[in-house]
Amino acid sequence: MRIEAEGAMTGGAPNMIRPMPGNDRPRVVILGAGFGGLAAAVALKSIPVDITVIDRRNYHLFQPLLYQVATAGLSPAQVAMPIRRILSRQKNVTVLMQRVERIEKAMQVVHTAERSIPYDYLVVATGARHAYFGHEEWAESAPGLKTIGDATEIRARILSAFERAEVTEDDQRREALLTFVVVGGGPTGVEMAGAIAELARKVVVRDFRHINVASARVVLVEAGNRILPTMPACLSAKAQRQLEGLGVEVLSTAAVNHCDAGGVTLADGRRIGSTCVLWAAGVMASKAAKWLGAAADRAGRTVVDERLNVPGHDNIFVIGDTAAVKSEDGRPVPGTAPAAKQMGEHAAHAIRALIAGNPVEPFRYRHFGNLATIGRKAAVADFGRIRLSGFSAWLVWNLAHLWFLVGFHNRLVVFMDWGLAYLRYERSARLITDRHER
Amino acid sequence: MRIEAEGAMTGGAPNMIRPMPGNDRPRVVILGAGFGGLAAAVALKSIPVDITVIDRRNYHLFQPLLYQVATAGLSPAQVAMPIRRILSRQKNVTVLMQRVERIEKAMQVVHTAERSIPYDYLVVATGARHAYFGHEEWAESAPGLKTIGDATEIRARILSAFERAEVTEDDQRREALLTFVVVGGGPTGVEMAGAIAELARKVVVRDFRHINVASARVVLVEAGNRILPTMPACLSAKAQRQLEGLGVEVLSTAAVNHCDAGGVTLADGRRIGSTCVLWAAGVMASKAAKWLGAAADRAGRTVVDERLNVPGHDNIFVIGDTAAVKSEDGRPVPGTAPAAKQMGEHAAHAIRALIAGNPVEPFRYRHFGNLATIGRKAAVADFGRIRLSGFSAWLVWNLAHLWFLVGFHNRLVVFMDWGLAYLRYERSARLITDRHER
């Protein structure tokens, strides 16, 4: 490896490589071990570089299934894997659990609380969080779904609402407790609304004595004129019919004006009383642009060039939900796992090319399709020419997600849980854990 | 049922039964859905009574496997089941998630934050928490293991210690980070120490680059002259040898004098530097005695008569870890799941007898044996005449615990996790979740 490295370097871009004493391998620092960061690290497996992956958590999160943790279908450990374990066998990787504090571009150093890590190549893949469009005060009464903490908090709120409804003797309070409002008609909102409706009507329905949980209201509120706006209109309509079939009320062109512990108020003045409002509308990128002193768009995403570089720094790549990237047809690249993976692979190939002194290709986003699941047997899938809905789309969705779940163990356990849930309308993780019971 | 109830009651103990309008069935209130409370509820399944089970959590916890959650072997949802789900099909049971505030014996009413629940018969099974013998200030630096919150906190501390050791450049700090002290040589302490040693030496050993986790120190500190004091001396010795085989240092006759964030100081002045001290020494019963205005022993357990009644109240039963009970040979009944189950069944039979106007038998504890597991292939088991250690005991331990795990789903998933862990030295739940990431 050592010789290869030297070979690579003599032909390489020396201005970018300041060898450390006793180690002449280029240093690649990857911030964030989401889909993008991991893809970059794995794609550099056989390259003679020293990779440091920095994440403030010890686990990689399989975001697309997080809504199932929030609705008691899966356990956190089934959608999260230790980053160390995933990269355990890749000898050129070191994983550090640290929180990034700042990036010194001039010195090419990343500073964390306890360490300063120099880099020759930097890949920033620190993702995004949900946003409240300047109404951050809504966060407490309408949690969003981005982390395991969010998911277990939402799970506790949903299950506690049923528990409190069973206890209370106040009819109005009971009605508010049995009303669930999901704000945002994107894939996450659609998945959440469908899963909550099923939880109430199929799973916990036999478990209560004083309340009829099947009468629980689930309201999906979307500001735009249809749910799943990134999908063809016909699939949006199908998704809405499937949701309504599960008992979800879908309100389109219904913007939320106000949100508090008692419920939401819509732009047209309508008030929906609910003790459990969930936020699935809009995201804000991580602080990457601030760290890098780079330009950002309205969603806080770093503006990058066609090679995913911060303009003027061809050794700094920003990828995934943290980057504002346009595909060739000029449309923004979606904030999905496949897109992040493609960007991570691009960054790895670019670094390989830079080391070898070869030209770097521009990033080309390949769009494979859109998927959104709705319930136990329903989903919609858009693969351009091929459009599926209902059970067939649901099967495709399950297979796709199962396949991409990192780790054999998780795949197996999740598959079994889904199988049992499907056969027995069961949910395996119906735990209410509070701040002191993580 | 109605007629039976009336029949039962006319022959019953009328002074104890004040029928509610429109309902003449005796009201049984059970506080706590642990092994004792659940056993009482289930044993009353076919009896014409109205049962209310009150627990401040929504799940029943399988305590004997909790140490596996604390050591990343199992997920919380694999050792906890929703109480509602367990009792879903038992139509004479209502479950309320409420925190008990006080008990009004004169009026026969249990008061919670939101409700007042009258009872004809009361079963108090609210368990125990770990105790620090008047050193409650040690709780922050030496968490104990009683709830899911405790377990995930301990899991986070153990895994974070490895992560911090990988990051730090201070040798002394690294040594303290890689030293784990378990205080208390009972079954829980033995299980914890063994599991941590295996976690370090077998599971995460390949995942770190800068530290040698196999060099981690695991110290089991026991104040008495041998670990597992309730077991025969020969099995204590075998357990110690098996622990030492896993690399655990066992310190007997070593009382802890002081405990802080930096480690522990023993009675003989020895200081053990450790950032991860775990408490497995001693328990304190719940507030039941205070609620009932009854006498309590030094561990806070309510003193009950041979029928498990609070003296003078033959309709109030205190069972499980909350009760101080002697077996026929005069020895205290251990605070184990089988003992709690037997007491719960006794309470149910006693209530049945009281309703029928029959005499109530005194409680007889049947001791089946003691089990403690040590590691991947090691355990000790004492069944009186039959004493096992090593692999055979480990098999017995696994089968016994698997068998008693509530719920088919959990049994299956746990069995699979154990199988995979056994084959691949894997841990499925290596997540560091913090206060905001339950």
pLDDT of A207-244, one tens digit each?
Answer: 999 999 888 999 999 999 999 998 899 999 999 999 99
Helix axes of A408-424 and A391-404: crossing angle, nearest 10 degrees: 150
Task: Note whether A167 contacts B78, CB cutoff 8 Å.
Answer: no
B90 interaction partners in chain A (CB closer than 8 Å): none
Predicted confidence (pLDDT) at residue A186 exceeds the cutoff of 90 = yes
Partner B contacted by A345 (CB < 8 A): no
Closest residue in chain B to residue A116, using alpha carbons only: B167
Average pLDDT over residues A409-431: 65
A210 interaction partners in chain B (CB closer than 8 Å): 94
pLDDT of A79-92, one tens digit each?
Answer: 888 899 889 889 99
Cβ pairs A/B, distance under 8 A: 163
CB atoms within 10 A of CB A358: 14
Grade residue A203 by pLDDT with cuts at 50, 70 and 90. confident
Task: Note whether B148 contacts A75, CB cutoff 8 Å.
Answer: no
Closest residue in chain B to residue A163, using alpha carbons only: B97
Tell me whether residue A191 is one of the annotated catalytic residues.
Answer: yes
Residues 44-63 (A) with a CB less than 8 A from some CB of B = 57-59
How would you classify the pairing of strands A121-124 and A116-118? Answer: unpaired
Partner B contacted by A416 (CB < 8 A): yes
Q: Looking at A101, A114, A140, A191, which residue is catalytic?
A: A191
Closest CA to A301 of A316, A287, A285: A285
CB atoms within 10 A of CB B16: 18
Task: Note whether A96 contacts B159, CB cutoff 8 Å.
Answer: no
Residues 121-150 (B) with a CB less than 8 A from some CB of A = 147-149
Grade residue A15 by pLDDT with cuts at 50, 70 and 90. very low
pLDDT for residue A428:
64
Predicted confidence (pLDDT) at residue A8 exceeds the cutoff of 50 = no
How would you classify the pairing of strands B217-221 and B179-183? Answer: parallel
Grade residue A438 by pLDDT with cuts at 50, 70 and 90. very low
Q: Are A337 and A35 in contact (CB under 8 A)?
A: yes
A435 interaction partners in chain B (CB closer than 8 Å): 435-436, 438
Grade residue A437 by pLDDT with cuts at 50, 70 and 90. very low
pLDDT for residue A285:
92
Grade residue A133 by pLDDT with cuts at 50, 70 and 90. confident
Ranges of chain B whose pLDDT falls below 70: 1-23, 405-428, 434-438
pLDDT > 90: what percent of chain A?
A: 65
Q: Are A188 and A105 in contact (CB under 8 A)?
A: no
Q: Degrees (nearest 5) of the Cα angle A359, A361, A362?
A: 135
Partner B contacted by A163 (CB < 8 A): yes
pLDDT for residue B24:
83
User: What are chain B's domains?
Assistant: 3-56+98-130+284-356 (3.50.50.60), 136-281+376-437 (3.50.50.100)
Return the residue in B75, B166, B436, B438 with the most chain A beta carbons within 10 A, the one to mutate for interface testing.
B438
pLDDT of B66-80, one tens digit each?
Answer: 999 999 988 898 888
Q: What are the tokens at A48? A: 């003679």
Among candidates B95, B148, B435 on the partner chain, residue whose Cβ is nearest the Cβ of A435: B435
A164 interaction partners in chain B (CB closer than 8 Å): 97
B431 interaction partners in chain A (CB closer than 8 Å): 58-59, 76-77, 80, 82, 148
Partner B contacted by A77 (CB < 8 A): yes
The ipTM estimated for the assembled molecules is 0.84
Q: What is the pTM (predicted TM-score) of this model? A: 0.87
Residues 10-29 (B) with a CB less than 8 A from some CB of A = none
Return the residue in A153, A173, A423, A437 with the most chain B beta carbons within 10 A, the one to mutate for interface testing.
A437
Q: Are A162 and A276 in contact (CB under 8 A)?
A: no
Partner A contacted by B169 (CB < 8 A): yes
Among candidates B94, B159, B438 on the partner chain, residue whose Cβ is nearest the Cβ of A438: B438
pLDDT of A285-318, one tens digit each?
Answer: 999 999 999 999 999 999 999 999 999 999 999 9
pLDDT for residue B411:
67
Side by side, the strands of the sheet bearing B179-183 are B248-251, B217-221, B179-183, B276-279
Q: What share of chain A is helix, strand, coil (3-state, %, to 5)?
A: 35, 25, 40
pLDDT for residue A46:
93
Q: Looking at B137, B166, B175, B191, which residue is catalytic?
A: B191
Return the residue in A160, A433, A434, A436 with the most chain B beta carbons within 10 A, the one to mutate for interface testing.
A433
pLDDT for residue B65:
87
pLDDT for residue A407:
60
Least trusted range by pLDDT, from A116-130, A245-259, A358-372, B215-229: A358-372
Length of chain B: 438
Closest CA to A35 of A58, A61, A53, A10: A61
